[in-house]
Structure 1
Amino acid sequence: MSNQEEQKLVQKSIPGTMNREQRFAKVEHAENTGETLKRIAVYFGKERGTVCGMLAVVLLGTLCGIYAPSLQSKAIDIIAGERTGRLTQTLFLMLLVYLFYCISGLLQGLFSAKLSQSVVKRMREELFGKFVDLPVRYMDTHSHGDVMSRMTNDIENISTTVSQSLPSLFSGVLTIVGTMAIMLWYCWQLALLSLFTVLLTVAATKILSGRVRKFSRKRQMLLGQLNGTVEEMISGYTTVVAYNRQNITTENFCSTADSLTKAGIKTDIFSGVMGPVMNCIGNIGFVIIAAFGGYFSIHGLISVGIISAFIVYAKQFSRPINEIAQVYGQLQTAIAGAERVFVILDEKNEDGSGENATIGENASVHFKDVCFSYDGGKPVIQHFSLTVPAGKKVALVGATGSGKTTMVNLLMRFYDIDSGEICINEQNIKDMKREELRKNIAIVLQDTVLFSDTLRSNLKYGKENATEEELENAVAMSHCSDLLRHLPKGYDTVLTGAGSNISQGQRQLIAIARAFVADPKILIFDEATSNVDTRTEKAIQTAMQKIMQGRTSIVIAHRLSTIRDSDLIVVMDHGKIIESGTHEALLEQKGKYYELYRTQYSGFAT
């Protein structure tokens, strides 16, 4: 995990840390900023109306902010008798300008929020649409946490930048240009003197923000370590106590806590000093303007009103400089996040080409001299040839890593083979559409996947138009009737936490019932009973036997007792078939299968 991603996770996991230190967090930089900005601009182009509206109100607000001090200067000069005019009219106009300034601020927030959510909504939809079309290989070779982070953290950074940073950037640039222009127009000498305090502000901000960034980074890292220590202590409390590690764990915690305290104090000191230093520099600026402004006023170069305007303009000029410095970091982080999102959007979709699969009631599967490797290097499957006759049950057994699950992945076309052929009824699966191929195959996995939805929706996952009669038949055949009776709302009971409110065995039975509802031509059971007790295993085996009747079935199992009745047992080792036959025939051979069976019979794990 990169330092940037680690810091994001730390910030996300610790409430209350994303406040003033967030401004000085480590900035991520995109590798190709120009190209990324062009792609982001496409999303803004689809929201032209909102963008134009936001720019219009930003421009209106900036002009009002620049014009208001001039009116204030005029009103003071009228009161001082240095200028002629109607004071009431000037004050009324100043009131209107400030009113428009406030309204533009409200409208700016409205347009920014709308633009932000519209752009992010479009990005999220495209990214999620991409997720469902990505090849299985991509998901298997990339960190799920990193992929999810792109959907959440990276897009959230873009949202924050669009809603907050962009308006500040536009407004800041316009304010700097407009304020400097009007200050030079009023009195160029006093304008140049005012720049001295601006330079002091920039220098102080750079020095202090560097210190805050350094110590806040350290603080975030230590907070993450402290959080991890506490989490490990709580989750592994029994182990800690069993090995008498309480004192050592406490010492480690206190050591980290001490370092965190020191880093926190330094962070708070430097970030706390920032405000007073800025105020001090601002007051120095006011003194300079008052002193030199008074001198220029005595000599008739400027009026008293212009001095008051300069005091406002000097403050107005330094504020956007600080904002732009902060916005720059946010923009870089957002652009880097957008680049990470675009990396996924540029990935190739799973190939959906091919012909519609025409698989009859009797589906036989043929593996013909199949070779495969995941990375193009070391072969995982070597010259594998096997025929699974229609309506028969074939079991694949072997040690972990022998290639059993890989064969299932190849049959489902989660991966494409390097050489050879896989056919269903002599029709090469490479010529079939993946979607059509998978409609005819159902899988029951070792780690059952259920969704946080009703039992009805989970059962109909493989066949949306299933009737109530089909659901009831599937439930009865898979021995789920007792489970259904105990659920408070029957089929409409919501399986919370992907089935966490029911047992592992019950989840397996529901998965078998789901496969029943799908009514596939080919069934695959991948270690479907490995995580349950012996009693539940018998119930699952009974359900499996009923669903496999008359269907072509491939069973992967470590527990050899579950596949004794198979029509054919295939023993695999390092991607090759080393033995095949019935249970009795393989025992008589006294080969690898015999060793596996004896090991399990003796009570040792394989």
Structure 2
Amino acid sequence: MNDSKLAERNIPGMNRRNRFVEVEHAEDVKGTLRRIVTYFVREKLLVFCMLGIVIFGTLCGVLAPSLQSKAIDIIAGTVQGKLMNTVLFMLTAYLLYSGSQLIQGLISAKLSQRIVKRMRGELFEKIVDLPVPYLDTHSHGDVMSRMTNDIENISTTVSQSLPSLFSGVLTILGTVAIMLWYCWQLALLSCISVLLTVFATKILSKRVRKFSRRRQQLLGTLNGTVEEMISGYRTVVAYNHQDITTEEFCAVSDSLTKAGIRTDIFSGVMGPIMNCIGNISFVIIAVFGGYFAIHGLISVGVISAFIVYAKQFSRPINEIAQIYGQLQTAIAGAERVFAVLDEESEDQAGEELADDSAATVTFQNLRFSYQQGYPVIHDYSLQIPSGKKVALVGATGSGKTTIVNLLMRFYDPDSGDIYINRQNIRDISRNSLRKNVAIVLQDTILFSETVQNNLKYGNESASEEQLQKAVEMSRCSEMIQMLPQGYDTVLTGAGENISQGQRQLLAIARAFVADPKILILDEATSNVDTRTEKMIQDAMQLVMQNRTSIIIAHRLSTIRDADIIVVMDQGRIVESGDHNSLLAQKGKYYELYMTQYAGFSI
């Protein structure tokens, strides 16, 4: 949307640089978790399979050290048994444990992709059905971030964090149970290292989260700076702003580097500290285990098993501490996704527009405001006879584009009515209304598709003959022939491989292909040269015959031959008539005309 439309709507913009800021906590954790569970319920077969594999793998992991203990005791001669069979059982347990980890990873990856696919599909379907006001008042970057970053966080959590959480909890319970069964005294002494682990993890995780949050914020700022520099590169160069832009980038980059170093330091320190605590645990087990073994409370094999169990016990605690932060981020991301899903879709109810070749448009006592208390349209009444060409002119912010938004039902008026023939457009479904109205905007939007598919965007069933006629009338036939593959040329980057003027011509041709009852041209020739503009005007005369047309223009040369010229000022009609009669009145239109063509203001 261009500046004039922003001014007209009086809606404050949003800072693009904030869209990468990481969300740490959800407001309604329980409600969000309940909704996430519904996605798991739909994949209950995979969930049960994963839980079964997790339980089986945990049992194997807990059983293996016990078999190791028995093998050592057999070698020491304190326990009777067949050493080879025990070793084979131990090897089998470890192999099954490793195999279950592999299968668990495969199942969790499949589960996460299925859940994310469903969630992403629902979100996209909701976005395309959202009313225009929602997308006009929300940062596009933020909406895209919910589709990409937030969904990706959920995917990562489901595929990696949840299986680790389940297996970690089961491993802790199983390990504690078997340690208590072997020697409760040594088990309690081992908990000293667990307390140290929890304490160290809490302190370090808090620091890591703090600097990680800061790094994410600075990364968003840095990305915003780079994005603005690339998109506005011509302006940067034209105003010799390279040095200042570089200084801004370096300042943010330096701060990001410092935050990154601190994050990496505390993240890197966590591993060695955990290893140190683990070694302390081994010392405790070795010292007290040896004492208990000497006094006959336990065997040497039990000491060996306790060393393995102590490692198994501390590992899931560390993982759960790290998973907690990921879960918080994923839940917050899911809440943002659900917030969009809970938005009301655009109402598509209503009757069909009557199949009538005539299309008289009547605006009756309209009043409208984008923000309550700040009306931009005041008591607006206008009738556009069927088949006539009406031009809306006026200063920036006078309400011209708003009238088009109301006619297209992008917005509904606060009061008043709009009729097409005798049908109130409130009673017409939006789909039916928009099928019969074609619009060419000043900001040309094409899609990364072939030229032919772009032209058929408003009428997929258009014949080859209709296509050729529209192309010839819009004077872009020669331009298309010069493209590498003609109609099959793919417009990369939504048309970046052709000029702005060529994109404008294709947009006009697309409107012609749609063959609408009502044609709206919002500064449709603003990006073409004077010669091309004259050719398009001549072509539009043919297209507009017997078709109701509304033209919004700042170039008064494009609307001299309009049947009715409506002059708007601050949301009101101040003058109307044809070109000559308005000039004779020497009013607002005369001022605009003389300012534009005589070179001075009246």
TM range (shorter): over 0.9
After TM superposition, list the pairs within 5 Å mapping 1:21-170 onto structure 2.
28-170=24-166
Range moving further from structure 2, 264-273 or 463-472: 264-273
| Cα 1:251–1:531 shift into 2, 3 Å | closer
Deviation at 1:163, TM superposition (A): 0.5
Deviation at 1:427, TM superposition (A): 1.3
SS at match of 1:461: coil
Supply the distance in 2 between the matched residues of 1:5 and 1:601 (Cα, whole angstroms): 39
Deviation at 1:162, TM superposition (A): 0.5
Residue 414 of structure 1: aligned partner:
410
Q: Deviations over 1:141-181 (max 9, x none)?
A: 11111111111111111111110111011011101111001
Of 195, 198, 203, 1:199 maps to 195
Supply the distance in 2 between the matched residues of 1:444 and 1:225 (Cα, whole angstroms): 35
Q: Deviations over 1:74-120 (max 9, x none)?
A: 00000110101111111111111111111111110111011101111
Q: Deviations over 1:48-98 (max 9, x none)?
A: 111001111111111111111000000000011010111111111111111
> Is the Cα contact below 8 Å between 2:459 and 2:513 reproduced in 1?
yes
Residue 309 of structure 2: aligned partner:
313
Structure 1: 5+ residue stretches without partners: 11-25
After TM superposition, list the pairs within 5 Å mapping 1:482-521 onto structure 2.
482-521=478-517
After TM superposition, list the pairs within 5 Å mapping 1:258-297 onto structure 2.
259-297=255-293
Supply the distance in 1 between the matched residues of 2:15 and 2:283 (Cα, whole angstroms): 44
SS at match of 1:82: coil
Residue 449 of structure 2: aligned partner:
453
> Is the Cα contact below 8 Å between 2:362 and 2:418 reproduced in 1?
yes
Matched, 1:379 2:372: no
Range moving further from structure 2, 455-464 or 250-259: 250-259
SS at match of 2:375: coil
Matched, 1:186 2:186: no
Supply the distance in 2 between the matched residues of 1:533 and 1:4 (Cα, whole angstroms): 34
| Cα 1:75–1:153 shift into 2, 3 Å | same
Deviation at 1:533, TM superposition (A): 2.7
After TM superposition, list the pairs within 5 Å mapping 1:288-367 onto structure 2.
288-367=284-363
Of 7, 20, 31, 1:9 maps to 20
> Is the Cα contact below 8 Å between 2:392 and 2:550 reproduced in 1?
yes
Supply the distance in 1 between the matched residues of 2:171 and 2:211 (Cα, whole angstroms): 32
Equivalent position amino acid for 2:39 in 1:
Y
Residue 18 of structure 1: aligned partner:
none
Supply the distance in 1 between the matched residues of 2:204 and 2:493 (Cα, whole angstroms): 47
| Cα 1:412–1:267 shift into 2, 3 Å | closer
| Cα 1:226–1:604 shift into 2, 3 Å | farther
SS at match of 1:373: strand
SS at match of 1:578: strand
% of aligned pairs identical? 73
Q: Deviations over 1:283-310 (max 9, x none)?
A: 1111110110011001110000000000
> Is the Cα contact below 8 Å between 1:405 and 1:556 reproduced in 2?
yes
Of 425, 435, 443, 1:429 maps to 425
> Is the Cα contact below 8 Å between 2:50 and 2:107 reproduced in 1?
yes
Deviation at 1:448, TM superposition (A): 1.2
Deviation at 1:541, TM superposition (A): 2.1
Range moving further from structure 2, 581-590 or 531-540: 531-540
Supply the distance in 2 between the matched residues of 1:4 and 1:445 (Cα, whole angstroms): 25
| Cα 1:529–1:129 shift into 2, 3 Å | same
Residue 8 of structure 2: aligned partner:
none
> Is the Cα contact below 8 Å between 1:371 and 1:419 reproduced in 2?
yes
Q: Deviations over 1:529-580 (max 9, x none)?
A: 2233323322332332222122110100010010000000000111111000
Q: Deviations over 1:401-454 (max 9, x none)?
A: 111111111111111112222111111111111111111111011111111101
After TM superposition, list the pairs within 5 Å mapping 1:477-556 onto structure 2.
477-556=473-552
Deviation at 1:245, TM superposition (A): 6.9
> Is the Cα contact below 8 Å between 1:367 and 1:384 reproduced in 2?
yes
> Is the Cα contact below 8 Å between 1:452 and 1:499 reproduced in 2?
yes
Supply the distance in 2 between the matched residues of 1:136 and 1:233 (Cα, whole angstroms): 29
Supply the distance in 2 between the matched residues of 1:507 and 1:250 (Cα, whole angstroms): 33
Structure 2: 5+ residue stretches without partners: 1-11
| Cα 1:431–1:213 shift into 2, 3 Å | closer
Matched, 1:571 2:582: no
Range moving further from structure 2, 537-546 or 413-422: 537-546
SS at match of 2:538: helix
| Cα 1:240–1:564 shift into 2, 3 Å | closer
Deviation at 1:528, TM superposition (A): 0.7
Deviation at 1:37, TM superposition (A): 1.1
Equivalent position amino acid for 1:380 in 2:
V
Supply the distance in 1 between the matched residues of 2:391 and 2:252 (Cα, whole angstroms): 54
| Cα 1:91–1:256 shift into 2, 3 Å | same
Equivalent position amino acid for 1:390 in 2:
S
SS at match of 1:128: helix
Of 395, 400, 424, 1:404 maps to 400
Equivalent position amino acid for 2:565 in 1:
I
| Cα 1:449–1:43 shift into 2, 3 Å | same
Q: Deviations over 1:470-528 (max 9, x none)?
A: 11111111111111210121211111111111111211111111111111111100111
How large is the RMSD of aligned CA atoms in angstroms?
2.5
SS at match of 1:271: helix
Deviation at 1:230, TM superposition (A): 6.4
Supply the distance in 2 between the matched residues of 1:137 and 1:230 (Cα, whole angstroms): 29
| Cα 1:240–1:473 shift into 2, 3 Å | closer
| Cα 1:531–1:328 shift into 2, 3 Å | same
Supply the distance in 2 between the matched residues of 1:83 and 1:225 (Cα, whole angstroms): 66
Supply the distance in 2 between the matched residues of 1:601 and 1:145 (Cα, whole angstroms): 41
SS at match of 1:380: strand
The aligned length equals 590
Supply the distance in 2 between the matched residues of 1:114 and 1:292 (Cα, whole angstroms): 46
Q: Deviations over 1:188-233 (max 9, x none)?
A: 0000000001111111222223333334444444555566666667
After TM superposition, list the pairs within 5 Å mapping 1:166-245 onto structure 2.
166-222=162-218
Range moving further from structure 2, 403-412 or 541-550: 541-550
Supply the distance in 2 between the matched residues of 1:331 and 1:398 (Cα, whole angstroms): 54
| Cα 1:110–1:487 shift into 2, 3 Å | same
Deviation at 1:236, TM superposition (A): 6.8
Deviation at 1:323, TM superposition (A): 0.8
> Is the Cα contact below 8 Å between 2:23 and 2:333 reproduced in 1?
no
SS at match of 1:502: coil
Range moving further from structure 2, 224-233 or 446-455: 224-233
Deviation at 1:270, TM superposition (A): 2.9
SS at match of 2:503: helix
Range moving further from structure 2, 422-431 or 185-194: 422-431
Deviation at 1:591, TM superposition (A): 0.1
Supply the distance in 2 between the matched residues of 1:342 and 1:217 (Cα, whole angstroms): 23
> Is the Cα contact below 8 Å between 2:23 and 2:332 reproduced in 1?
no
Q: Deviations over 1:222-276 (max 9, x none)?
A: 5555666666677777877887777766666665555555444444433332222
